[in-house]
Structure 1
Amino acid sequence: MTRHLHGILALLLVTLVWGTTFPAMKDLTGHFSAVWIILVRFALAALLLSPFLWRARAHDLRSGALLGVLLFFCFIFQVEGLALTSSNRNAFICGLNVLVVPLLGVLAGRLPERRIVLALAMSLAGLAALCWDGGGWGLGDSLALMCALCFGVYIKVMEVHTQRATNLLTVTAGQITTVAVCAALWLLAREVPGDAAARSAWFGGVVTAIGQHAWNFAYLGVVATAAIISLQTWGQSRTTANEAAVVYAFEPAAAAFFGYFWLGEAMTGRGWLGGLLLISGMIVSQWNSERRPAAALAPE
């Protein structure tokens, strides 16, 4: 096989693994708060990626810290939303983040291209079909939409900072470590009981529960975050931006597929029609768009 085909296959694997993270995290929301899931997942990934922080440039660390704060809020909205809706619906709505970047240009006074107007119309039709299939719009859907908005802003900021980066994996390791630190601070401020005895019992219960779900956390932290980022870097270096955009657009469909086998979540024909319209809108919005940095790394 050619170098190019190897790159396409690598990105297909990346997309499939990303699709599994939605049911994997949805499964954990029945036992843990969103911030615990984020903390354990990203702490594991940060530990594995920590060698890239050795002798890192200060500007790379600053970029990683800024991106990490944005990424933390992306995941807070995503996982909180997952607890209140199905994993496949959450994945389709979160996937709308690709439309946010061009829409930010509209807010800045630039007229949208025709492909963006078409993509937005397809996406709105897809959302309508998806809601028709799974019930009315709820809080979980609103949180997923907030996640999409945050991811869009994150991608725009990431484009700027990765172009200036000396070492992209250092920036990536920095942002993943920052997510873990933000989750720990959030946990201390909002969830840790004030009473010492209650705190000890609470912490012991959480540690026991983490041990019971260790394989799920290990998969999310080691495979779906740390390992898959390396594969993403390798695959994107061998493909074009348009090809990567088309492959990544199928992430929500992968999430729906794995959600069915992992959690028993099913979609009717209307739901799949809505999903197809959303995926089509994502592809149209990215086709022949400005090239993103070849190795702009964003965990899902």
Structure 2
Amino acid sequence: MMPLRLRGIFALLLVTLVWGTTFPAMKDLSAHLAPVWIVLVRFVLGGLLLSPFLLRAAGAEYRGGAMLGGMLFAAYMFQVEGLALTSANRNAFITGLNVLVVPLLGVVAGRAPERRIVIGIALALCGLFALCWDGGAWSFGDTLALIGALCFALYIKLVELRTRQATDLMALTAVQVLTVACCAALWIMLLPQPAIEAGVLQAAIRNNSVNLIYLGVVATAAIISLQTWGQRHASANEAAVMYALEPACAAVAAYFWLAETMAWRGIAGGLLLIAGIIASQWNPADELGPAPALLD
């Protein structure tokens, strides 16, 4: 029988594959729905499926989940807004830089960077240069994706803190997913939105129901649950390597889903970015422990 640790690694690989498909799915939706509506419908569906776990939530889960959900909402809004202005594969590679931002936060705090971090950043910057050379100059959509990557990095640090304080990880997950949905609803109610008729909105949701159900049911509720189980049995080192493959998965999915292609310079840039992410996280001395959170 396959060892639990190996099953955990395969579970995280499946998580990475599915999360890679969310980029073209959301890119496709951005042509029909405003980003905030995509976030709202996706997380309402995921939150409803996870809502039974709220019965097990205590004060720590509610406080931690609300904080995590608020940061996750900001990250998704920047990501989806950026997707409307750039390609899915380019957005995915820039979003993947969130893994590099986390150790950089330690540098800002005054800690000297390790050699693997310096190597990872150098490779990633070369990759970004190649991507921009291939796909055109840096755009506002790329800037939004980069801000989203920063938000995802801050989210990772919050997850690291809050999961240690929570007694039930699934309850914490349910609270944060529903918090994202509530933030999206408040955004729609309190901030001016482009005029749209109710019938047009309903038709857009109905016509794109397959994508929305996939994002809400599979990519949010089911995959977050699988991720939680996989991280229990894989090391942080192994999980980081699995997650570094997400931009490549997104590029493949964008090719088949949206017919987006990349020239050789873009492919080389993407590979350099992935190499930089893996180099920044690879530490053979790491012991088995909690894996970093997956973000897309």
Q: Distance in 2 between matches of 1:223 and 1:42?
A: 11
Question: Equivalent residue for 1:76?
Answer: 77
Q: Distance in 1 between matches of 2:140 and 2:252?
A: 24
TM-score (norm 2): 0.95
1:2 CA drift (Å): 2.7
2:42 maps to 1:41: yes
Name the aligned partner's letter for residue 92 of structure 1: F
Question: Equivalent residue for 2:68?
Answer: 67
Name the aligned partner's letter for residue 231 of structure 1: L
* 1:248-271 CA distance string (max 9 Å, x none): 100000000000000000001111
1:59 CA drift (Å): 1.4
Question: Equivalent residue for 2:28?
Answer: 27
Contact 1:98-1:282 at 8 Å conserved across structures = yes
* 1:202-253 CA distance string (max 9 Å, x none): 2221112101111110000000000001111222222111111101100000
- Range 183-192 or range 266-275, more displaced: 183-192
SS of the equivalent of 2:233 reads: coil
Q: Distance in 2 between matches of 1:295 and 1:174?
A: 20
1:55 CA drift (Å): 4.1
Equivalences for residues 1-300 of structure 1 within 5 A: 1-192=2-193, 202-288=197-283, 294=290, 297-300=293-296
Return closer, same or farther for 1:264/1:79 CA change in 2, 3 Å cut-off. Answer: same
Q: Distance in 1 between matches of 2:11 and 2:101?
A: 26
SS of the equivalent of 1:237 reads: helix
1:4 CA drift (Å): 2.4
1:298 CA drift (Å): 4.4
RMSD: 1.7
Which runs of 5 or more residues in structure 1 are unaligned? none
Q: Distance in 1 between matches of 2:290 and 2:90?
A: 29
Return closer, same or farther for 1:55/1:237 CA change in 2, 3 Å cut-off. Answer: closer
Contact 1:70-1:150 at 8 Å conserved across structures = yes
SS of the equivalent of 1:31 reads: coil
Q: Distance in 1 between matches of 2:154 and 2:288?
A: 14
Q: Distance in 1 between matches of 2:120 and 2:163?
A: 26
Name the aligned partner's letter for residue 255 of structure 1: A
Contact 1:225-1:299 at 8 Å conserved across structures = no
1:297 CA drift (Å): 4.7
Which runs of 5 or more residues in structure 2 are unaligned? none
1:291 CA drift (Å): 7.0
1:5 CA drift (Å): 2.2
Name the aligned partner's letter for residue 276 of structure 2: G
Name the aligned partner's letter for residue 28 of structure 2: D
Q: Between Structure 1 and Structure 2, how many residues are aligned?
A: 294
SS of the equivalent of 1:54 reads: helix
- Range 74-83 or range 6-15, more displaced: 6-15
Q: Distance in 1 between matches of 2:154 and 2:14?
A: 26
1:292 CA drift (Å): 9.5
Contact 2:36-2:187 at 8 Å conserved across structures = yes
Q: Distance in 1 between matches of 2:227 and 2:41?
A: 22
Name the aligned partner's letter for residue 213 of structure 2: A
- Range 19-28 or range 238-247, more displaced: 238-247
Return closer, same or farther for 1:189/1:292 CA change in 2, 3 Å cut-off. Answer: farther
Q: Distance in 1 between matches of 2:293 and 2:47?
A: 14
Q: Distance in 2 between matches of 1:215 and 1:157?
A: 32
Q: Distance in 2 between matches of 1:38 and 1:27?
A: 14
Q: Distance in 2 between matches of 1:166 and 1:134?
A: 46
1:295 CA drift (Å): 6.2
TM-score (norm 1): 0.94
1:190 CA drift (Å): 2.4
1:16 CA drift (Å): 0.5
